[in-house]
């Protein structure tokens, strides 16, 4: 198991390098010019110098190498510096001073380091997206369990129908629909997510809750639809097995049979599906963040794309790819840990 | 028993014939049934799938024949008749601006909503079908080749894994914004965008099909009939087309329906985010996106394209569900 994990970890490095190379080369084909917004009165030689300052004069391979160094070498140094200086976890260690003012990945829009902007945006995304995923899982599991236990019952049929709807209605329709019903007609929730809001007391907490409900529900509907199908199928596979009959024959109560014996075995594939869905939800959040005006990283990607901010697009797309590779790895390892029959040799 | 051994043989033959005759059925107990008839009968039992299939056919015929039945030009601006409400609004609000000239109302520039819905449906369905066919061709090709030729299996499956770990929606956005200009210049604004979206969706959605087809091909390849075909000297290409492809048809059909659903949703999502077709060319996603800003006053402009997208995708998904049941021989017998 350990060798498998190490091997997968080592293998994921060339995968990530290749993905980043593909994305970089794709972006090299971009027709846009970052100097397009510069006034025409600026003489051409000054423009050329500005271009050089942005690192655009170099051949693509050199640019790619510099990006790699910046992301994999300089940014970790800054992170370690921050850990030993400001964080409460390792702040007691002596300050490392690894970073000496080297050039970081600079956004063409704001001329500030891309990573700083990403770090500002991540909490919003994590709050909305992460919360929606947790809510989705919490709703999906009981639905899946009960529809499998009462297969073909009214509840099961209704659950199937609702999950089909969850599959079919895209978030860019459910979002506006919820806004029309709940913020325009009923006026219960605000239609725009206020990211500057700070939770101080009970009233502000209630406001935070009310502005989070709609985006969380939109995203949770998608999660619920997928996960409850998996949960139901996995429970159905296990409910007809011999060990279930044995457990019943021993005189165990129905609750123990279903919730302990069957559920534990059915959770094995579902847990990996949950892990695999985490990066997908980040991608799907792009639309939801756009609908509810949450300024998370999905919205950052869209604005960067429209502003032709290639370093930002490059770094963000790479972060998404990194998440996918990471959670694939986690899912594989979890599968091996949870199911002793799986042997990766 | 007689003395002559020949008589024994004759007798034995007669006995054999009698025994075989007794074993042989007079007529087949039931007329031979074709597989597709079985599939159809199982499919008919799935109510949701039947409704989904009918709805999909209805929508497809509607968007194909619609421009002849409803002849208004979807791009014609009629600023005097702008912001009209659908005809059913008159039931509860007699003061609303309605009229039979525009039964589903008009938008803020006076374009007829019904004509736009039909034209938008044409675009969405065309993109959906084309992208689905492209991703099926790529997926089936990669799956069959990597399942049939052992040498190519490793590299092709690594490639599939690599594509699976690409962030699809961000990459779609990147590709569409980057290649919009050159393709528009070459193929016109609508044609270029159509080619771009179909290609991009097709290239990024073939992986599940490839995996399923490869698994099936690996299993079927070892069966006796393939061995028999090989032993009489059938070329690999002939084996693939005559023996392998017909046997992997059912998983391909199921992933085709799923592919159609994802392609329609992806196209609408791109239009919604504003990177799809040009702004005067109606698609369902673009109608929805344009209407979101005014949805307090004109909720129907959000609802109509939204419901159209959702019902189409719902129909396709139910169709896929029914097909999966109908094509699975283990379920079909029951």
> Which of A75-89, A104-118, B9-23, B261-275 has the lowest average pLDDT?
B9-23
Residue A316 reports pLDDT greater than 90 = no
pLDDT at A278: 83
Residue A14 has pLDDT above 80, yes or no: yes
Question: Which residues, numbered 251 to 280 in chain B, qualify as contacts with chain A under a Cβ-Cβ cut-off of 8 Å?
Answer: 261, 265, 268-269, 272-273, 275
| Cβ–Cβ gap B302/A320 under 8 Å | no
Distances (CA, A) of A210 to A157, A205, A293, B156, B296: 31, 9, 15, 48, 20
Q: Is A164 on the interface with B (CB under 8 A)?
A: yes
- Tell me how close the Cα of A169 comes to any Cα of chain B, in angstroms: 5
Sign of CA dihedral B5, B7, B11, B14: positive
Q: Do B170 and A31 touch (CB under 8 A)?
A: no
Spans in chain B with pLDDT lower than 50? 1-2, 334
Q: Is position B39 within any domain?
A: no
Q: Is B302 touching A (CB cutoff 8 A)?
A: yes
Are B27 and B291 in contact by the 8 Å Cβ rule? The answer is: no
Give the model's pLDDT for residue B16.
66
Interchain pair A305, B173: CB under 8 A: yes
What pLDDT digit, counting tens, does each position of A269-279 carry?
Answer: 888 888 888 88
Q: How many CB pairs under 8 A join A and B?
A: 118
Tokens describing residue B275: 């990177």
Q: Does A313 touch chain B (CB under 8 A)?
A: yes
| Of B319, B194, B199, the residue nearest B256 (C-alpha) | B319
Query: Which of A26, A184, A306 comes nearest B175 by C-beta?
Result: A26
Q: Is the residue at B48 inside a domain?
A: no
Hey, is the C-beta of A302 within 8 angstroms of any chain B C-beta? yes
**Cα–Cα distance between A124 and A296 in angstroms, integer?**
5
Burial of residue B300 (CB within 10 Å: 0-12, 13-18, 19+) is: middle
Give the sign of the dihedral formed by CA A128, CA A134, CA A139, CA A140: positive
Contact A331, B202 (CB under 8 A): no
What tokens were used for A135? 């809510």
* B119 within some domain: yes
Q: Please state the ipTM of this predicted complex.
A: 0.77
pLDDT at site B1 = 43
Chain B CA closest to residue A20: B166
Tell me whether residue B22 is in a domain: no
Residues 6+ apart with CB under 8 A from B49: B43, B318, B319, B321, B322, B323, B325, B326
Interior/surface letters A37-58, b for 16+ CB within 10 angstroms, e for the rest: eeeeeeeeeeeeeeeeeebeee
Is B150 contained in some domain?
yes
Output the furthest CA–CA distance in chain A (Å, rounded): 89
**Looking at chain A, which residue has its C-alpha nearest residue B170?**
A317
B218, B251 in Cβ contact below 8 A?
Answer: no
pLDDT, position B25: 67
Shortest CB distance from B171 goes to which of A172, A179, A317? Answer: A317
B69 by Cβ neighbours in 10 Å (0-12 / 13-18 / 19+) ranks as exposed
Kindly list the residues from chain B whose CB atom is less than 8 angstroms away from the CB atom of residue A321: 165-167
Q: What distance in Å separates the CA atoms of residue A201 and residue B201, rounded to the nearest whole number? A: 47
Q: Does A21 touch chain B (CB under 8 A)?
A: no
Query: What is the residue range of B237's domain?
Result: 55-70+109-325
Q: Considering its fold, how many domains does chain B have in total?
A: 1
Residues in a beta bridge with A113: A106
Whether A321 has its CB under 8 Å from any CB of chain B: the answer is: yes
pTM for the full predicted model: 0.80
Per-residue pLDDT at A52 exceeds 60: yes
A179 contacts chain B (CB < 8 A): yes
Q: Check which CATH number belongs to the domain holding B254 and give it.
A: 1.10.3720.10
For residue B216, being part of any structural domain is answered with: yes
Looking at the complex, report in whole angstroms how far the Cα of residue A185 sits from the nearest Cα belonging to chain B: 8
C-alpha triplet B214, B216, B222: angle, nearest 5° = 105
The residue of B178, B203, B295 whose CB has the most chain A CBs within 10 angstroms, and thus the best one to mutate to test that interface, is B178
**For residues B184 and B192, is the Cβ–Cβ distance under 8 A?**
yes
pLDDT of residue B7: 57
Other residues' Cβ atoms within 10 Å of the Cβ of residue B15: 10
The verdict on residue B80 lying in a domain is no
- Token pair 């980040």 in the structure block, residue: A282
Choose the closest CB to B169 out of A19, A286, A313. A286
A202-239 helix and A154-168 helix, angle to the nearest 10 degrees: 120
Q: Is the C-alpha dihedral spanning B280, B281, B284, B286 positive or negative? A: negative
From A86's Cα to the closest Cα of chain B, the distance in A is 33
Q: Do B265 and A320 touch (CB under 8 A)?
A: no
Instruction: Record the tokens describing residue B41, joined without a space.
Output: 């009968």
The mean of the pLDDT values for chain A is 81
Q: Quick one: pLDDT at residue A332?
A: 82
Measured distance CA(A124)–CA(A282) in Å, rounded: 12
* pLDDT score of A155 more than 80: yes
- B159 near A CB under 8 A: no
In DSSP terms, A168 is beta-bridged to none
Q: For residues A88 and A28, which has the higher predicted lDDT (pLDDT)?
A: A28
Structural domain includes residue B46: no
**Per-residue tokens: B219:** 């299993």
């Amino acid at each position: 198991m350990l060798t498998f994990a190490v091997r997968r970890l080592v293998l994921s490095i060339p995968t990530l390098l290749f993905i980043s190379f593909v994305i970089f080369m794709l972006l090299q084909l971009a027709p846009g010019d970052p100097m397009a917004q510069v006034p025409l009165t600026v003489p051409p030689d000054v423009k050329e110098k500005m271009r050089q300052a942005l690192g655009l004069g170099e051949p693509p391979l050199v640019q790619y190498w510099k990006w790699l160094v910046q992301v994999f070498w300089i940014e970790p140094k800054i992170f370690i510096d921050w850990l030993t200086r400001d964080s409460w976890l390792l702040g007691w260690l002596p300050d490392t001073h690894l970073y000496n003012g080297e050039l970081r990945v600079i956004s063409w829009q704001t001329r500030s380091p891309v990573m700083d902007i990403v770090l500002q945006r991540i909490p919003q995304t994590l709050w909305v997206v992460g919360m929606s995923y947790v809510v989705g899982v919490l709703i999906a599991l009981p639905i899946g369990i009960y529809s499998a236990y009462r297969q073909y019952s009214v509840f099961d049929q209704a659950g199937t129908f609702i999950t089909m709807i969850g599959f079919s209605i895209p978030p860019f329709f459910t979002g506006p629909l919820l806004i029309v019903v709940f913020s325009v007609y009923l006026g219960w929730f605000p239609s725009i997510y206020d990211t500057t809001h700070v939770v101080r007391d009970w009233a502000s907490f209630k406001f935070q809750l009310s502005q989070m409900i709609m985006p969380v529900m939109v995203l949770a509907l998608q999660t619920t639809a997928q996960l409850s199908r998996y949960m139901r199928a996995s429970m159905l596979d296990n409910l007809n097995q011999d060990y279930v009959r044995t457990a019943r024959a021993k005189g165990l109560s129905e609750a123990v049979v279903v919730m302990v014996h069957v559920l534990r075995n059915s959770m094995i594939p579902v847990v990996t599906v949950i892990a695999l869905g985490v990066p997908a939800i980040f991608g799907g959040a792009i639309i939801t963040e756009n609908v509810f005006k949450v300024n998370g990283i999905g919205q950052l990607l869209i604005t960067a794309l429209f502003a032709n901010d290639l370093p930002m697009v490059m770094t963000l797309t790479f972060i998404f790819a990194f998440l996918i590779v990471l959670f694939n790895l986690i899912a594989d390892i979890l599968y091996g840990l949870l199911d002793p029959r799986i042997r990766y040799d | 028993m007689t003395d002559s051994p020949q008589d024994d043989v004759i007798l034995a033959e007669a006995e054999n014939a009698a025994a075989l005759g007794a074993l042989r059925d007079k007529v087949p107990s039931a007329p031979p049934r074709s597989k597709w008839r079985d599939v159809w009968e199982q499919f008919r039992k799935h109510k949701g799938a039947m409704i989904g299939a009918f709805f999909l056919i209805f929508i497809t015929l509607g968007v194909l024949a619609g421009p002849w039945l409803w002849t208004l030009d979807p791009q014609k601006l009629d600023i005097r008749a702008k912001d009209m409400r659908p005809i059913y609004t008159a039931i509860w609000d007699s003061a609303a601006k309605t009229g039979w000239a525009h039964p589903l109302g008009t938008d803020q520039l006076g374009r007829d909503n019904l004509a736009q819905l039909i034209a938008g449906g044409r675009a969405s369905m065309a993109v959906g079908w084309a992208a689905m066919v492209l991703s099926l061709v790529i997926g089936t090709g990669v799956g069959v080749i990597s399942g049939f030729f052992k040498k190519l299996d490793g590299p092709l499956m690594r490639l599939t894994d690599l594509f699976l770990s690409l962030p699809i929606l961000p990459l779609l956005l990147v590709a569409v914004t980057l290649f919009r200009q050159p393709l528009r210049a070459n193929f016109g604004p609508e044609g270029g965008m159509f080619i771009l979206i179909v290609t991009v969706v097709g290239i990024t959605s073939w992986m599940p099909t490839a995996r399923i087809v490869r698994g099936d091909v690996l299993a079927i390849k070892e069966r006796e009939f393939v061995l028999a075909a090989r032993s009489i000297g059938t070329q690999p290409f002939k084996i693939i087309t005559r023996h392998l492809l017909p046997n992997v048809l059912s998983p391909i059909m199921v992933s085709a329906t799923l592919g159609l659903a994802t392609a329609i949703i992806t196209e609408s999502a791109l239009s919604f985010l504003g990177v799809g077709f040009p702004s005067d060319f109606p698609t369902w996603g673009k109608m929805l996106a344009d209407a979101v800003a005014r949805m307090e006053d004109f909720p129907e402009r959000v609802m109509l394209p939204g419901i159209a997208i959702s019902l189409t995708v719902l129909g396709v998904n139910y169709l896929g569900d029914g097909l999966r049941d109908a094509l699975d021989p283990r379920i079909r017998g029951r």
